[in-house]
Structure formats: structure tokens, C-alpha cells
Amino acid sequence: MTRFTVNDRPVQFLMDPETPLLWALRDAANLTGTKYGCGNGDCGACMVIIDGEAIRSCLVSIAEVEGRFVTTIEALSGDRSHPLQQAMVAEGAIQCGFCTPGFVMAGAALLARNPRAGREEIAQAVRNLCPCGAGPRIIRAIERAGRAMRRRENLESLPAPGIDPAEAAQVVPAISAASPEPTESEP
């Protein structure tokens, strides 16, 4: 059977039960934040959280996930407000961004267990790959997110997805909500 919960919604995938969770998420549920990089667990770009544990979604079939709770990057916070998302941006730990969702999911699962995780523990727990070379910054971002979760530090919030000019105009003076018709000069 292939019924389980994805991002708090109960779903059933009408696919071959052997289909790796990765491809069910990407191609059937259109949750494309979970990335394919290697197919054998080397890269960690497909990391999701299943019942609190970071799991490579290319290595589990949808049959094996039956009855469990799957969280993908799209629902980690929904509005980029998870401290690790904020810390990744604040530390400049994102270059091409392809590995980013996997790192965020692996780091978030670690911090949920232990917000005091230090460099060693992070390196042991988060075995993802980033060839762009953001690794040292990613370690710093996870440590910083941990401090924020322990209220040792505040992180700046990120713009939420899907802001329209009307909302932006409330914060940014250079943007106006209205899109006035062309007019000749106004007094």
C-alpha cells in the first residue's frame, strides 16, 4: 500500500509501490524542492524528514513509507521562517542552491534533536555534498540556527514567498501598490 502523510496531508500514490519516495514526491506530487542528484544516497539532495528523522528519499520506496509522516522542504516552514533557512541566507551559505534543500532538511532534523549540535556533531550527522564549496558556511549556518533556537541570537526574517507589490509597498517606499494609468503630470 502507498498511503501516507505528506506535509500534513493524507495521500495515496497510484504508482508502482517500488517507486522511490523521491520520484513520487517530484513527479506525482510536484514537490520539486526535493532534488535528484545521485540515486544511491551519496549526495543527500533528496533529504526529507520522515517521523522526525532525516531520510534520503531516493533510498526508500513509497511502500516502505506506508502510514508514516513525510515532511519536505516545501513544508518545513512554508514561509522561510525556519531558523536554519534564515541562517543559511544570513551566512551566505547558498551558491547554486541545488544541494540547499537537502542540507536544510538534514540540518533541521539534527537541530530538532539537538539545538546545541557543534561542528563535530554536524559533520557526523549531515553527510550531504556541496561541490560549490559552501561547506564551511553551511556548518556555521547550522550552528547559528541552533543558537537562534536556543534564543542566544536573533535572525532576520526572510521575505515570504509570493509577496505582491501591494504588500511590498508597505515596507519598501520605492514600490507603490497602485499601478496607475498613464497620466500627464500631476500637481
Tell which positions 57-116 bind other proteins, by CB under 8 A: 72-74, 76-77, 80, 85, 88-89, 92, 94-101, 104
- Only segment of 3-11, 109-117, 147-155, 171-179 that touches other proteins (CB under 8 A): 171-179
Of the candidates 27, 42, 24, which has an alpha carbon nearest to the alpha carbon of residue 102?
Answer: 42
Cβ nearer to other proteins, comparing 115 with 145: 145
User: Which residue is associated with the grid cell 523521491?
Assistant: 22
**Least CB distance from residue 86 to other proteins, whole Å?**
8
- Only segment of 1-9, 16-24, 108-116, 143-151 that touches other proteins (CB under 8 A): 16-24
Count, residues in the chain: 187
By the rule CB under 8 A, 151 interacts with other proteins: no
Quote the cell numbers at residue 23: 520520484
By the rule CB under 8 A, 143 interacts with other proteins: no
- Only segment of 1-9, 28-36, 49-57, 110-118 that touches other proteins (CB under 8 A): 28-36
**Least CB distance from residue 81 to other proteins, whole Å?**
10
Whole-angstrom distance, CA of residue 185 vs CA of residue 12? 59
By the rule CB under 8 A, 52 interacts with other proteins: no
Quote the cell numbers at residue 154: 536573533
By the rule CB under 8 A, 170 interacts with other proteins: no
Radius of gyration in angstroms for the set of CA atoms belonging to the chain, rounded to a whole number: 19
Whole-angstrom distance, CA of residue 35 vs CA of residue 96? 13
Cβ nearer to other proteins, comparing 107 with 115: 107
Whole-angstrom distance, CA of residue 10 vs CA of residue 8? 7
Quote the cell numbers at residue 116: 546545541
Total residues binding other proteins (CB under 8 A): 81
- The phi, psi pair for 83, rounded to 5°, reads -55, -35
